Structure 1
Amino acid sequence: MAPETQVHRTEAEAVVAPPAPADVLAALTPEEKLAFLHQRVPAVERLGLGAFTTGTEALHGLAWLGEATSFAQPVGMACSWDPRLLAQVGRVVGTEVRAKRVVDPRAGLNVWAPVVNLTRHPLWGRTEEGYSEDPDLTGVLATGYCAGLRGDDPDVWLTVPTLKHYLAYGNEVDRSAASSHLPPQTLREHELPAFRAALQAGVVGAVMPSYNQVNGRPNHVARELLDELRSWTPGSVAVVSDAQAPSSIVEIERYHPDHVSAHAAALRSGVDSYTENADDPRLTIERFTAALEAGLVTWADIDLAVLRVLELRAKTGELSGTDPYRVSADALDAPAHRALAREVARRGVVVLANAEGALPLTTPQVIALVGPFADVTLRDWYSGTLLYGTTLADGVRERYPDAELRVVDGIDRVALRDVSTGRYLAVDTTAGDAAVTAGALTPGSTFALTDWGQDVVTLRSDDTGAFLGGGGAFVRADAQEVDGWVVHELFVIHRHEDGTATFRHRASGRWLRVQRHTGVLVADGEEATATRFDLEVRRDGAAEIEQACAGADTVLVAVGNDPHIAGRETEDRPDLDLPPTARRAFDAAARRSRPVLVVVSSYPYAIEDETSRASAVVWSSHAGQELGHGVLDVLSGDVEPSGRLAQTWWRRVEDAGDLLDYDVVGSGQTYRYNAATPLFAFGHGLSYTQVTHESLELTATDAEAPAVTGAHTPARTPLLADPSLLDDTVLAADEGDPAEVRARITVTNTGPRPVDELVALYVQAPDDVPVPAPRSRLVSWTRVHLAPGERQVVELPVPLGTLAVWDVAARAPHPTGGPEVPGAFVVQPGTYRFVTGAHADDEAAVAVLTVRGPWAPVQDGTLLDASAFHAVSGVVTSDRDREAGACVEVVRDREDGWARYHRVHVGSPVSAVRVRVASRAWPSPQPALVRVEARPAGQEGWTALAAPVEVPAGDPYTWHDVVVPLTGPVAVGDVLDLRLQLGGAARVAEAGLV
Structure 2
Amino acid sequence: MTPPATAGPSPAPEPPPGPEPESRPPWRDPLRPVAERVEDLLGRLTPDERLAMLHQFAPPVDRLGLAAFRTGQEALHGVAWMGPATVFPQAVGLGATWDDELVRRIGEAVGREVRAMRAKDPRVGLNVWAPVVNQLRHPLWGRNEEGYAEDPVLTAALATAYTRGLRGSHPDYWRTAPVLKHWLAHNHETGRDTASTSVPARVLHEYELPAFRGPVRAGAVAGVMPAYNLVNGRPNHLSPLLESELRQWTGRPLVVCSDAGAPSNIAGSEQYHDSHEEGLAAALRAGVDSFTDHGEDSSVTLERLRGALKRGLIGQPDVDRAVRRLLTMRFRLGEFDPGLDPYRPENDPAEAAFDTPDHRALALRAAEAAVVLLKNAPVAPADAPAGRPLLPLPPGLRLAVVGPLADETKLDWYSGALLRAVSPLAGLRDHPATGSVVFAEGTDRVRLSCPEGWLTVPDAEVAERADTGALDPALLAGRTDLPPLTLSADRARAAEFALADWGGGVFTLRAENGHYLSVAEDGFVRASARQPGGWVVQETFEPVPQPDGGELIRHRGTGRLLTAAPEGLRLAGEEEPPTAFRREVVRDGARAVAAAAADADAVIVVAGNDPHINGRETEDRTTLALPPQQDRLWRAAHAANPNTVLVLTSSGPYAVPEAAAGLPALLWTAHGGQAAGTALARVLHGERAPGGRLPQTWYAADTDLPELLDYDLIGSRLTYLYHDGEPLFPFGHGLSYTSFSYDGLTLAGEGIAEGVLTAGVSVRNTGEREGEEVVQLYVRAVEPSVPRPHRALAAYRRVRLAPGATERITFTVDASEALGFWDVAHARWTVEPGDYEIQAGASSRDIRRSVTLTVPGDGRPAPRPVAAVGLDASAFDEHSGAELVDRSRTEGDAVRPARAGERPAVLHYRRCDLGEGAGAVRVEYAADGAGACRGRLELLADGRPVAEAELAADGGVYAYTTAEVPLSGPPVRGVVDLEARLHGALRLARLGFAAEGARRSG
**TM-score (normalizing by structure 1):** 0.90
- Matches of 1:613 and 1:312, distance apart in 2: 55
Match of 1:92 in 2: 109
User: Which residue, out of 607, 613, 624, partners 2:673?
Assistant: 624
Match of 2:863 in 1: 858
> What code does the residue aligned with 2:536 have?
V
SS in structure 1 of the partner of residue 109 of structure 2 = helix
Pair 1:608 & 2:613 matched: no
Q: Deviations over 1:124-158 (max 9, x none)?
A: 11111000000111001000000000001111100
Pair 1:903 & 2:911 matched: yes
SS in structure 2 of the partner of residue 584 of structure 1 = helix
- Matches of 1:383 and 1:741, distance apart in 2: 40
> What code does the residue aligned with 2:341 have?
D
Pair 1:840 & 2:872 matched: no
Residues 1:949 and 1:249: Cα distance change in structure 2 (over 3 Å): same
| Stretch deviating more after TM superposition (228-237 or 562-571) | 228-237
Match of 2:805 in 1: 790
Conserved 8 A contact 2:183-2:236? yes
- Matches of 2:506 and 2:962, distance apart in 1: 55
User: Which residue, out of 670, 689, 694, partners 1:640?
Assistant: 689
Q: Deviations over 1:934-966 (max 9, x none)?
A: 22xxxxx2331x452624333110111222333
Conserved 8 A contact 2:454-2:494? no
Pair 1:371 & 2:403 matched: yes
After TM superposition, give the deviation of residue 408 of structure 1 in Å: 1.3
After TM superposition, give the deviation of residue 194 of structure 1 in Å: 0.4
User: Which residue, out of 525, 531, 547, partners 1:475?
Assistant: 525
After TM superposition, give the deviation of residue 401 of structure 1 in Å: 7.1
Match of 2:343 in 1: 325
Q: Deviations over 1:663-701 (max 9, x none)?
A: 01111111001111111111100100011224534457x
Match of 1:723 in 2: none
| Stretch deviating more after TM superposition (128-137 or 359-368) | 359-368
User: Which residue, out of 309, 326, 334, partners 2:326?
Assistant: 309
Match of 1:547 in 2: 595
Pair 1:397 & 2:429 matched: yes
- Matches of 1:179 and 1:17, distance apart in 2: 42
Conserved 8 A contact 1:140-1:197? yes
- Matches of 1:179 and 1:289, distance apart in 2: 30
SS in structure 2 of the partner of residue 145 of structure 1 = helix
Residues 1:508 and 1:308: Cα distance change in structure 2 (over 3 Å): same
| Stretch deviating more after TM superposition (498-507 or 960-969) | 960-969
After TM superposition, give the deviation of residue 326 of structure 1 in Å: 2.8
After TM superposition, give the deviation of residue 72 of structure 1 in Å: 0.4
> What code does the residue aligned with 1:326 have?
R
Residues 1:670 and 1:65: Cα distance change in structure 2 (over 3 Å): same
User: Which residue, out of 876, 881, 888, partners 1:869?
Assistant: 876
- Matches of 2:889 and 2:775, distance apart in 1: 47
After TM superposition, give the deviation of residue 971 of structure 1 in Å: 6.7
Residues 1:330 and 1:397: Cα distance change in structure 2 (over 3 Å): farther
Q: Deviations over 1:294-318 (max 9, x none)?
A: 1111111111111111111111011
Pair 1:689 & 2:691 matched: no
After TM superposition, give the deviation of residue 223 of structure 1 in Å: 2.3
Residues 1:279 and 1:837: Cα distance change in structure 2 (over 3 Å): same
Residues 1:825 and 1:432: Cα distance change in structure 2 (over 3 Å): closer
Residues 1:792 and 1:429: Cα distance change in structure 2 (over 3 Å): closer
Residues 1:528 and 1:835: Cα distance change in structure 2 (over 3 Å): farther
Q: Deviations over 1:233-253 (max 9, x none)?
A: 220001110000011112211
Conserved 8 A contact 1:117-1:169? yes
Pair 1:878 & 2:885 matched: yes
Q: Deviations over 1:892-950 (max 9, x none)?
A: 454422212222223466443222111110689x9422233322xxxxx2331x45262
Q: Deviations over 1:592-642 (max 9, x none)?
A: 112111111111111111122322111111111111111112111111111
SS in structure 1 of the partner of residue 923 of structure 2 = strand
Conserved 8 A contact 1:890-1:984? yes
After TM superposition, give the deviation of residue 495 of structure 1 in Å: 2.9
Conserved 8 A contact 1:87-1:144? yes
- Matches of 1:319 and 1:325, distance apart in 2: 13
After TM superposition, give the deviation of residue 15 of structure 1 in Å: 5.0
- Matches of 1:978 and 1:990, distance apart in 2: 13
After TM superposition, give the deviation of residue 441 of structure 1 in Å: 2.7
Unaligned runs of 5+ in 1: 1-8, 707-736, 811-822, 936-940
Match of 1:942 in 2: 944
- Matches of 1:106 and 1:858, distance apart in 2: 58
1:337-348 superposed matches below 5 A: 337-348=359-370
Unaligned runs of 5+ in 2: 1-16, 19-27, 379-388, 462-479, 995-1002
1:28-107 superposed matches below 5 A: 28-107=45-124
Pair 1:765 & 2:781 matched: yes
Match of 1:775 in 2: 790
SS in structure 2 of the partner of residue 630 of structure 1 = helix
> What code does the residue aligned with 1:921 have?
G
1:430-509 superposed matches below 5 A: 433-439=482-488, 440-442=490-492, 445-509=495-559
After TM superposition, give the deviation of residue 24 of structure 1 in Å: 1.2
- Matches of 1:488 and 1:171, distance apart in 2: 22
Residues 1:526 and 1:676: Cα distance change in structure 2 (over 3 Å): farther
Conserved 8 A contact 2:934-2:950? no
- Matches of 1:674 and 1:806, distance apart in 2: 20
**Aligned positions, number:** 928
Conserved 8 A contact 2:113-2:352? no
Conserved 8 A contact 1:503-1:511? yes
Pair 1:141 & 2:158 matched: yes
- Matches of 1:460 and 1:136, distance apart in 2: 43
- Matches of 1:913 and 1:465, distance apart in 2: 70
Pair 1:128 & 2:128 matched: no
> What code does the residue aligned with 1:52 have?
F
SS in structure 1 of the partner of residue 535 of structure 2 = coil
After TM superposition, give the deviation of residue 409 of structure 1 in Å: 0.6
User: Which residue, out of 715, 719, 722, partners 1:670?
Assistant: 719
- Matches of 1:784 and 1:413, distance apart in 2: 47
Conserved 8 A contact 1:673-1:775? yes
User: Which residue, out of 796, 800, 824, partners 1:808?
Assistant: 824
| Stretch deviating more after TM superposition (14-23 or 896-905) | 14-23
- Matches of 2:671 and 2:551, distance apart in 1: 33
User: Which residue, out of 904, 914, 918, partners 2:922?
Assistant: 914
SS in structure 1 of the partner of residue 131 of structure 2 = coil
**TM-score (normalizing by structure 2):** 0.89
User: Which residue, out of 706, 709, 730, partners 1:657?
Assistant: 706
- Matches of 1:662 and 1:143, distance apart in 2: 24
1:199-278 superposed matches below 5 A: 199-278=216-295
Match of 1:745 in 2: 761
Question: Aligned-pair RMSD on alpha carbons?
Answer: 2.3
User: Which residue, out of 570, 579, 596, partners 2:627?
Assistant: 579
SS in structure 1 of the partner of residue 978 of structure 2 = strand
Pair 1:429 & 2:431 matched: no
| Stretch deviating more after TM superposition (124-133 or 830-839) | 830-839
SS in structure 2 of the partner of residue 837 of structure 1 = strand
Conserved 8 A contact 2:649-2:671? yes
Match of 2:21 in 1: none
| Stretch deviating more after TM superposition (25-34 or 278-287) | 25-34
- Matches of 1:889 and 1:834, distance apart in 2: 39
- Matches of 1:330 and 1:68, distance apart in 2: 13
Match of 1:725 in 2: none
| Stretch deviating more after TM superposition (491-500 or 685-694) | 491-500
- Matches of 2:150 and 2:292, distance apart in 1: 29
- Matches of 2:185 and 2:276, distance apart in 1: 25
- Matches of 1:797 and 1:311, distance apart in 2: 34
Residues 1:943 and 1:402: Cα distance change in structure 2 (over 3 Å): closer
Deviating runs (4+, > 6 A) in structure 1?
Answer: 16-19
SS in structure 2 of the partner of residue 126 of structure 1 = helix
